[in-house]
Structure 1
Amino acid sequence: MSLGRGDPVAPPPGDGEFAIIFASKEAARGWSELCRQVPGAAGRAWEQMRRDPAPSSPTERHHPLKAALATATHQGRELPVWQIEVTGGGRVWYLFDRERRTCWLKLASLRHPKKTE
């Protein structure tokens, strides 16, 4: 069975944690590739999304996107988009849904997204 849009990134969240759900089939494929190529870095990104997806003190490696990429619409709601720099070029982008305690995984890639250049 292949993962796709709407499927959770396993395992389910524990007490006080955020759910992580794939926003697209492409994100699911990218996440699988990140986990295969850089499992330690992918695991750290997963932990950040699960426990502190929108830190009060963003860092160079974990921060909200800016300008036209700062928000995206998901299920009719405008949500902030955050980025975790997983490797030098690898990125994870997710829509942060505080109300539903969910991170919608929008992009997972070993390469730097050209949209930010």
Structure 2
Amino acid sequence: MSAGRGDRAAPPAAEGQWEVRFADAAAAKGWENLCRQVRENTYRAWVVMRTDPRPTVENSRHHRLKGSLAHGTYRGQTCEQWQIEVTGGGRVWYLLDAGRDTCWITFAGTGHPRATDQR
């Protein structure tokens, strides 16, 4: 998704930080919904992805997904998939692309992702 007139300008990653990008348009739309509804929590999630996307100590609000959701593929690269709980139901899922120092947001939404209901 390329930026256009009126879109927010995201700063480039500082040295030692990760880029945060959308894997698809649905993730970008979900992100915008999160920004409108829980601006501060969404900002905190962005900072975490930018500075500590693979924490040494996981917690209930930020952890790697399990089972078949533990990995995902983006541009032919298999990556770890992580989750940040932004609200009680709102989530951000991202792929950790270590080769590009990039977090690819694959899901962002104000409701609990349905994919986890099948587990």
Give the alignment's TM-score, normalised by structure 1. 0.91
| Stretches of 4+ aligned residues off by more than 3 angstroms | none
SS of match in other structure, 1:88: coil
SS of match in other structure, 2:47: helix
- Equivalent residue for 1:64? 64
Q: Flag structure 1 segments of 5+ consecutive residues without an equivalent.
A: none
1:83 pairs with 2:96: no
Number of residue pairs the alignment of both structures matches? 112
Alpha-carbon deviation of 1:53? 0.3
Alpha-carbon deviation of 1:104? 0.3
Q: Flag structure 2 segments of 5+ consecutive residues without an equivalent.
A: 4-8
* CA deviation profile, 1:78-104 (whole Å, cap 9, x unmatched): 111000000000000000011211000
Alpha-carbon deviation of 1:11? 2.0
1:49 pairs with 2:49: yes
SS of match in other structure, 2:44: helix
* CA deviation profile, 1:2-60 (whole Å, cap 9, x unmatched): xx3x76x8222112110011100000000011111100000000000000001011111
CA distance, structure 2, for counterparts of residue 86 and residue 116 of structure 1 = 16
What's the % identity of the aligned pairs? 49
